[in-house]
Amino acid sequence: MKPLTYREAGVDIDAGEDAVRRIAPLARATNRPEVIGGIGGFASFVSVPSKFREPVLVSSTDGVGTKLQVAFLAGRHDTVGIDLVAMGVNDILVHGAEPLYFLDYIAVGRLDPGQIETIVGGVAEGCRQAGCALVGGEMAEHAGAFPPGEYDLAGFSVGVAERGRLIDGSRVRPGDVVLGLASSGLHSNGFTLARRIVFDVMGLRVSDRFPGTGRLVADEMLEPTRIYVRSIQTLLEAVEVRAMVHVTGGGLTGNLPRVLPSGCRARISRSTWSPPAVFRTLREAGRVDEGEMFKTFNMGIGYVVIVAATAGEAAARTLRESGETVIHLGEITAGERGAELVA
């Protein structure tokens, strides 16, 4: 038997080096002044912006989940990187943090430099939208661990906030107003149920039309998660924000209580908005109970802002001027900590 090589065993170091060469310019394009050095070292270096007097680093890690399975079916890998960034930066944004830098982790069965370049191109676009720098990451070739063409993603977001301006929900009071910002669609949650309904119950393919939307299944299901950073940064300079919520797994009813202090209850009026057609189709085709829909999906509300009643109109105006669709969802009432949907 001839001597074995790492490549014959399933790991191609040359392909990895080619992928690094391809993605380095994408990362450089997202640089901020605080970034020291470039891609290719053992670690990344980023200084804290000098404008912060008492900086606090705020961090988050997440993935894209089984939305990736739709990307594999469609053979489209250019948008899941945006989702990856969005899931992290929207989370740290909730606490008033400015996204500073981002790292990704890509695990593949066999490394395809072109595919990696496409994925990281999406990550770079997400970083551009969020105003943060893509400073590094890791590509791991796990031979035999994934079917051909498949991979998994993880992302790591780090932001910075002034200690005295951290937002944690402790200032929320009865009488405050709850504003919702429209999502771009499914975002990156509930895809295990969504895929079951679309592909198993409805029997659709990614190239079919998604009923009620006028779009292809692939286009509707791979619509990137909206990144709210620019709009919220503008809002934070305009009014006092008492709490914010990134509506992810658990939906409105599951995520709102996470930012409410004891004695405060979010009362959300279900009649103030109509969920986009994608959610109506999923509910009807899957015969899903409304409560289950609201626990699983964002139902058209991707982000929530809570402000004092006196600041409600100014906050809504500022957000609309920043390009957001704003819905007055309801108010904070005195009661058991939690969230409820009312007619």
The per-residue pLDDT for 42 is 87
pLDDT at 219 over 90: yes
Q: Kindly report the number of other CB atoms within 10 A of residue 167's CB atom.
A: 21
Give the β-pairing of 264-269 and 338-342. parallel
Domain ranges across the chain: 6-165, 177-342
Q: What confidence tier does 40 reach under pLDDT thresholds 50, 70, 90?
A: confident
Q: What confidence tier does 1 reach under pLDDT thresholds 50, 70, 90?
A: low
The per-residue pLDDT for 7 is 75
Q: Is 101 helix (H, G, I), strand (E, B) or coil?
A: strand
Q: What is the DSSP string of 134-147?
A: EEEEEEEE-TTTS-
Share of the chain above pLDDT 90, in %: 89
Q: Is 169 helix (H, G, I), strand (E, B) or coil?
A: coil
Could you tell me how far CA 7 lies from the centroid of its own chain?
35
**C-alpha distance from residue 130 to each of 58, 196, 217, 230, 272 (Å):** 15, 32, 27, 7, 29
The mean of the pLDDT values for the chain is 95
Task: With residue 304 as reference, give the H or E element that holds it.
Answer: strand 301-307
Give the β-pairing of 35-36 and 45-46. antiparallel
CA distance 233 to 240: 12
Fold classification of 6-165 is: 60s Ribosomal Protein L30; Chain: A; (3.30.1330)
pLDDT at 159 over 80: yes
Share of the chain above pLDDT 70, in %: 98
Q: What confidence tier does 18 reach under pLDDT thresholds 50, 70, 90?
A: confident
177-342 in CATH: which number?
A: 3.90.650.10
Give the β-pairing of 209-210 and 177-182. unpaired
CA distance 253 to 266: 9
CA distance 90 to 249: 13
CA distance 252 to 266: 10
Which of 23-32, 132-141, 145-154 shows the lowest mean pLDDT across its residues? 23-32
Helical H segments across the chain, by residue range: 6-9, 13-28, 67-74, 80-93, 113-130, 191-195, 217-221, 229-238, 251-255, 277-286, 290-296, 312-321
Q: What confidence tier does 164 reach under pLDDT thresholds 50, 70, 90?
A: very high
- Tokens standing for 275? 């969920």
